[in-house]
Amino acid sequence: MEGLPGGAVRGEQTEGALNATMLVGRARWWPVLLCVMSLALLAYAAWTARWVRPSGDDWCFLPVTRDGGLAAILDEFYSRDNGRVVNAVLVWAYARFDVAGQQWFPPASGVLILLLLWAFCAAALPATERRPPRGTALFMAATVTAVFLFGSLNTYKTFYWPAASVSHTLPPVFACAAIVPVLKADSPRGRAFALCTAATTGAALGLLSEETTVVALVALGCTVVVSGRVIGPARRHFVRLWCAAAIAGLVTGMLILYTSPGAMHRRQTKNASIMLAPTSLWDSLYGFAYITLRCLTAWPYLGAFAGGVVLGCVLVRASPEGVTRMKNQMPLIWSCVVVLLVAGYACTVITYPAFRAGVMTSTRLWNDYLLLYVLFLVYAGALAACAWHRRGRHVATALTFGTAVYSVVCVGLAATLAVLGSDMATRALAWDQQDTWMRSQAAAGARVLPYRRLPIRNMTEPFGHEGHKTWPALCVARYYRVQDITNATGKP
């Protein structure tokens, strides 16, 4: 009789453990469901891209590309704008198709980002020394893509506006993709390919985005510093050599950009000489502190951490005994934090002369280091799940938490995308009506036309800032082949 209670307790414990095991056994399907949610967000955003219409800098890029082709846009960037010749090539790739190119750019870039991050995750997962279920890399890539693109504080400029995407959204993804060859290199030919890729990609990034170049240089330097503790002796020398090749490529591209006539003109017009002035450095620090607080309190980024928790649970299920072999985690964690802080502040410093207090509101400028932030959150979530398991707690609880939080974040992102899509559709209909009228008037011989401003999500339009921002008006006039446009308050 005395054995009955103990047996009952043991039976309940066994039943609870069995239920937890069954739940974890079904864990392979949970990432699939979450991956479908992420891909659905990307598909919906790609569908609403049909409402994209010209705005901001694209008013200037479109007529230059139309009238002069690739040579004209290259000369415009290298000689007058900023020296970013690789940026000019990417602008030409979509601007040559006029409005249709702007509409196709978001879905095309979204798929490209997903594929490149998929390759990066597939190459990085083997470093965990576990064999996760098939599809885990796609789940990670879809999670990072969804949070990075649609968790932004201004999704329109991050995903839908081609000019900002080319300068600040795509470059950090290209930098991640450049890591794939070094992760996969296991032969002399593979190592040679990785070194060549590092140098050429570095040079291209140096001619594409100054901010991503700074982030990459800080990350590479930190990798060299911590390589003695986190990389095995067999690969340590090669990784350091690869970092040196990448740094050489980045510096080469950056020097070409820095000495270009366009970059010199930009430094003169933006008063870049104040960059290292004490007042500028202090204001940049204040601005970066504000940016950091905004990002730390932005709810969409919980999705990255929750996705990391699910990933950690999947890794635990794949190799429960391997969780106890967590080596050299603290150097990696601290190096990620240092890179984020140093690179983020450096990016704020170099953009402050041009934007001043606008660095705190121009969210597109943050994307160059926010991809690293999203990846770090995924990594932190995975570590949290593994730590939960090491303490003897049921991984099913962590899996439920991660899945629930990520699902809620996806629902919230879907709601914000729906609102943005409605606003884009309203603007597109008004834009098309005005575009038809202005083209007909220009064809009839009109030399001066009224233009009604159609702003969306803080995009630059002619006569903005209470009529003081007039430069877009010159580009709009060139786009419609007229002499000038005036500020119209009503419908044409």
Please, how many CA atoms are within 13 Å of residue 260, restricted to the half-sphere of its CB?
24
pLDDT tens for residues 124-153?
988 766 777 888 999 999 999 999 999 999
Element (H, E) at 174: helix 170-177
Q: How far apart are CA 157 and CA 175, in angstroms?
A: 20
Give the pLDDT mean for 289-318.
Answer: 94
pLDDT tens for residues 381-397?
999 998 898 887 788 89
Residue 206: predicted pLDDT: 97
Element (H, E) at 452: strand 448-452
Q: Which of 294, 292, 280 is nearest to 351 (CA)?
A: 280
Residues 434 and 440 sit within 8 Å (Cβ to Cβ): no
Token pair belonging to 352: 């402050």
pLDDT tens for residues 333-353?
999 999 999 999 999 999 999
pLDDT tens for residues 66-77?
999 999 999 999
Q: Which of 154, 169, 159, 144 is nearest to 406 (CA)?
A: 144
Q: How many other CB atoms sit within 10 Å of the CB of residue 112?
A: 14
Residue bearing the bigger pLDDT, 1 or 436: 436
Residues 64 and 92 sit within 8 Å (Cβ to Cβ): no
Mean confidence (pLDDT) of the chain:
90
